[in-house]
Amino acid sequence: MNDLNGLGKKPTRRDFQIVNLLKNCFLALSLLVVLAVIGAGCGGSAAKTAAATSPVTPGSSSSSSSSASSSGITVSSPANGAAVGSPFTLEASATTCSSQAVTSIGYSLDSSTDTVAANGNSINTPVSAQTGTHTLHVKAWGEQGASCDQDLAVAVTDSSSPENSLVPSDATVVSNIQAVIGWQAAHDPVTGASSSGSMNMVSSPSLSGNARQFDTSFSNDGGEIYNVAFANDPNPANFFYDGWVYLASSATNVENLELDTNQVLANGNTVIYGFQCDGYSGTWDYTANQGSPANPKDVWVHSGASCNVQSWGKEQWHHVQISYSRDDSGNVTYNSVWLDGAEAKINATVPSEFALGWVPSLVTNFQVDGNGSGSNTLYLDKLTISRW
């Protein structure tokens, strides 16, 4: 059921410390890679922002502020994959379409048949859209009836989005973690019989132009752990996880989706901020240590908030945001989770400090657990973790 905390859906569980020893070895290997992003710690009067460096991967690309296509349409705003408010400004132009002089230009959203058009070869107009991800179709028509189309992905965010009110200006913000070099994959031995996974950087589907693709094969409810160390900072006590997840049409048997952060403290212990959408219980779950740091008993606790990843729409992006914090004794408070802008309050405080002997680091896990046997493809984009 879950990689990090060692709790499967079956009553029999393997020894927690053995599992974490395996994961520690796995983590140590990943830390041999030079980290693309290292945070220097929290504090200071100015915000510290690090953009993760993307590996050079065939087929990857980055979005820019101005986008031109073979259609001859140039879109100055918004950029492909941009996060925008509503309304946002569409600024585009085109001089020719299929070798014909352009006489009108316009747009439509998603699968709507309603098209807004203006005479001439340029447009500068506000566009209103609901919160979420959309495909903006920018269109141009030639003087003899030719039509050209350029598509862009946009993510419409609410101006009251939680990061605007929760993340302080002096927080350390690491963005595009999905593009950090050093991601690793391994079977979670406390889940089903077996799993294997591979990753690739892709430009489509993507919001940023550089999404990470996760291909997982599994048998008997197996789960695959994907993780990366993105910083080393024992000091911050507050975290805000913000990422976009896309389920391919083939991802029909994802049972659990786990989105974790692990922090090694100055005393050498590790605080586990474990969080998952649990398809077995239909709830958001969080990690707790019901033992002691030296003799841990790691469990999943079902919250009262509903979540079932099998009900998430396929072939579309879903926005997941999680707020959690800790105290000096290793107690973690899970505050709230937002799925596509809808908040579910957790408001639970539990002990979650473990003496695991891990090397100093901040690590994020993305785990995909299967239902039965088969394969799934998911994508992760614009993963940002803020700390303060």
134-151 pLDDT, tens digit each: 999 999 999 999 999 999
Tell me the average pLDDT across 150-156: 91
Q: What counts of helices (H) and strands (E) characterise the chain?
A: 2, 28
What's the alpha-carbon Rg for the chain, to the nearest Å?
Answer: 22
Q: Which residues of 221-237 are buried (b: 16+ CB within 10 A; e: fewer)?
A: bbbbbbbbbbbbbbebb
Non-local (6+) Cβ contacts of 222 within 8 A are 187, 188, 191, 192, 193, 194, 195, 369, 370, 373
* Local confidence band at 48 (pLDDT 50, 70, 90 cut-offs): very low
Distance of alpha carbon 10 from alpha carbon 18, whole angstroms: 18
When comparing pLDDT for 34 and 309, which is higher? 309
Question: For position 34, what pLDDT does the model report?
Answer: 32
Question: For position 49, what pLDDT does the model report?
Answer: 44
61 neighbors 203 (Cβ within 8 angstroms): yes
* Local confidence band at 161 (pLDDT 50, 70, 90 cut-offs): confident
When comparing pLDDT for 38 and 331, which is higher? 331
Measure Cα distances from 242 to 28, 30, 180, 330 in Å.
25, 22, 15, 23
Question: For position 69, what pLDDT does the model report?
Answer: 56
- Residue 284, pLDDT > 60, answer yes
Predicted TM-score (pTM) of the model is 0.71
Among residues 260, 256, 262, the alpha carbon closest in space to that of 286 is found at 260
For residues 187, 193, 199, 203, the Cα torsion angle rounded to the nearest 10 degrees is -130
Residue 110 amino acid letter: D
Q: Count the neighbouring beta carbons within 10 Å of the beta carbon of residue 345.
A: 13
13 neighbors 190 (Cβ within 8 angstroms): yes
Compute CA 256 distance to the chain's CA centroid, rounded to the nearest angstrom.
15
Measure Cα distances from 58 to 53, 201, 221 in Å.
15, 8, 32
When comparing pLDDT for 290 and 56, which is higher? 290
Question: For position 128, what pLDDT does the model report?
Answer: 85
When comparing pLDDT for 50 and 213, which is higher? 213
Query: Structural domain boundaries of the chain?
Result: 16-59+158-387, 67-156
Among residues 214, 262, 189, the alpha carbon closest in space to that of 1 is found at 189
Question: For position 159, what pLDDT does the model report?
Answer: 61
Q: Which residues of 166-189 are buried (b: 16+ CB within 10 A; e: fewer)?
A: bbeeebbbbbbbbbbbbbbbbbbb
Tell me the average pLDDT across 339-358: 96
- Residue 58, pLDDT > 50, answer no
Residue bearing tokens 């999905």? 178
Question: For position 3, what pLDDT does the model report?
Answer: 41
Both structure tokens of 85:
């408010």
Both structure tokens of 330:
């290793």
* Local confidence band at 194 (pLDDT 50, 70, 90 cut-offs): very high
Question: For position 10, what pLDDT does the model report?
Answer: 36
Measure Cα distances from 90 to 97, 137, 386 in Å.
19, 11, 30
Dump pLDDT digits (tens) for 294-338: 999 999 999 999 999 999 999 999 999 999 999 999 999 999 999
Distance of alpha carbon 293 from alpha carbon 260, whole angstroms: 18
Question: For position 160, what pLDDT does the model report?
Answer: 65
Question: For position 132, what pLDDT does the model report?
Answer: 84
Dump pLDDT digits (tens) for 223-249: 999 999 999 999 999 999 999 999 999
Both structure tokens of 147:
């039509």
Distance of alpha carbon 213 from alpha carbon 380, whole angstroms: 7
Question: For position 176, what pLDDT does the model report?
Answer: 97
What integer best gives the mean pLDDT of the chain? 84
When comparing pLDDT for 1 and 262, which is higher? 262
Distance of alpha carbon 186 from alpha carbon 198, whole angstroms: 9
- Does the domain formed by 16-59+158-387 have CATH 3.40.47.10? no
Residue bearing tokens 């900072």? 233
- Residue 70, pLDDT > 70, answer no
- Residue 39, pLDDT > 60, answer no
**Secondary structure letter of residue 314 according to DSSP:** S
CATH of domain 67-156: 2.60.40.10
Share of the chain above pLDDT 90, in %: 71
Among residues 325, 194, 173, 346, the alpha carbon closest in space to that of 261 is found at 325
- Residue 364, pLDDT > 90, answer yes
